[in-house]
A and B are shown apart, each in its own frame.
Chain A
């Protein structure tokens, strides 16, 4: 069991409001990702759930029970910190065992649980090492191991992969996903990286300046962003926003079109443009162009597109994939 609910949760630090009334419902077993730009309050929200900060007003409920007066250790949640926060003078074994020791478990029970967690995370050979003798990825696993042995109601991850290099990040992303499939425990995962959010989440919570901008599955957010903020944040490369005659003609203040949802021609089309730069990735070509009268455009073309800088092109959006927004930046259907 591990459902988590937030009811109009607010948090202010010395008068500065950081979380402005968040309502949220995370079901048991769900993989929820909090995503948003740096400083939008993701960590603060996670720490409010963990009990490391007190809410200014509102309520946090775990399994339906308010936990406002429950200390962090008693909430039954485990957290994996961005810096891993391993105890540097303890061996890997003792790091993983620490919470169990503090809970007064018997030695043989502790040993069995530590061995099991170590086996799950491929740490068995490293149990007697100190954290500083491990690589970044291994430290990350120890931090996860420390969380697993507690058999928590939910795991809380605060940007756990941001200290790893790109390839290791992809690998750990997969491992955490597999871990979730195995354990089926609720996980809340904080990241500023929308790719991580899209690939891992059952449910994405997009945060903007301390408020929830939109909640939904990755594809819901991709296909039907409810406003300019989410539209611009989810998806890579970013969605193009276009003002002017072509959006007015479609009855919108601003028109959004993803780089992958356009047709490019060298002869005719809706928006004439000049190629600035073409990035050839092999599988795709990202084209940065300057549209006449509508500003910069990013285009994503499949395969090798034979485009060169300063070449004239014509861009036509696919009508079905156009997002329309009103003057307040809200979605129009």
Chain B
């Protein structure tokens, strides 16, 4: 236990980093809050003034906002389901002793190291391109009409790209959890006559529940702010079919040059992220206890 002197010294010593981090967070937040209360369009930069909550009212009543909200939730939800579900399967497979296990693991993890922009470009131009993409080639060789992914199934396409990026992360974390399952417990279950499915549901799933929770929480934080993949592939379209909240904020700020509205949108996004976080903690957070 720390004495009073040492804890006082500790406080002094950590103070610089705490203060720096605090400023790092609080200054942009304060400035965003400030800008969100201004009429501040870069197209009309002479005419800046205080407007109160008008920017918020405008952003929230924008018909695009509601669809962006829905899009955000659909994107986050779908990717979570796919990456966690797929991650469990991949982890179970990787946990089997096979030849070239290490090389296999490295390959499975590889997508995680690819930048979102690059992986989106790869998917857009090499795989899903309706003229020159691999999928189109496969479809044509099977005598089928190629799917025009980003035009006809825009949200599904974005979900696929983002899931591909996050599947390795989920697999890796869940594999680690699987490997920590006690060998004698496996054998006890075997002796107790648990077949593959009961073994999975009664022994494995409860054991990795905590890891699943961690994956869900971490992924959610990042998935709420997916941007590069949408920017590179669909540009938020067609229409607003793949515009999520971050992309809507971007459109306000850099396409409409409306700093005030974009700031308001940013604050709304922050609040939304917190609401989602609270819900998530409610639903899955109790897995983290004990």
Chain A interface residues toward B at CB < 8 A: 50, 52, 71-74, 77-79, 81-83, 85-90, 98-99, 102-103, 146, 150
Contacts and interface: CB of A to CB of B under 8 A. Distances in A.
B188 A79 contact: yes
Contacts of B100: none
Nearest to B185: A85
A89 B205 CA distance: 10
A45 B190 CA distance: 18
Given A72-B190, A85-B185, A87-B185, 20 more contacts: A72-B187, A73-B190, A73-B191, A73-B192, A81-B188, A82-B184, A83-B184, A85-B188, A86-B185, A86-B188, A88-B207, A89-B209, A98-B189, A98-B194, A98-B202, A99-B191, A102-B194, A102-B198, A146-B192, A150-B192
A81 B184 contact: yes
Contact of B193 (A50, A52, A99): A99
B289 interface: no
A89 B189 CA distance: 14
A50 to B, nearest CB: 7
Interface of B: 182, 184-185, 187-195, 198, 202-203, 206-207, 209
A77 B191 contact: yes
B193 A85 contact: no
Contacts of B185: 85-87
Nearest to A156: B191
B194 A78 contact: no
Contacts, number: 60
7 contacts: A73-B191, A79-B188, A81-B184, A85-B182, A87-B188, A89-B209, A102-B192
Most central of B188, B193, B194, B207 by chain A CB within 10 Å: B188
* Chain A contact residues: helix, strand, loop or mixed: loop
A73 B197 CA distance: 15
A86 to B, nearest CB: 8
B187 A85 contact: yes
Contacts of B202: 87, 90, 98
B159 to A, nearest CB: 32
Contact of B184 (A77, A78, A85, A99): A85
Given A52-B187, A98-B192, A99-B193, A89 B182 contact: no
A83 B188 CA distance: 11
Contacts of A146: 188, 192
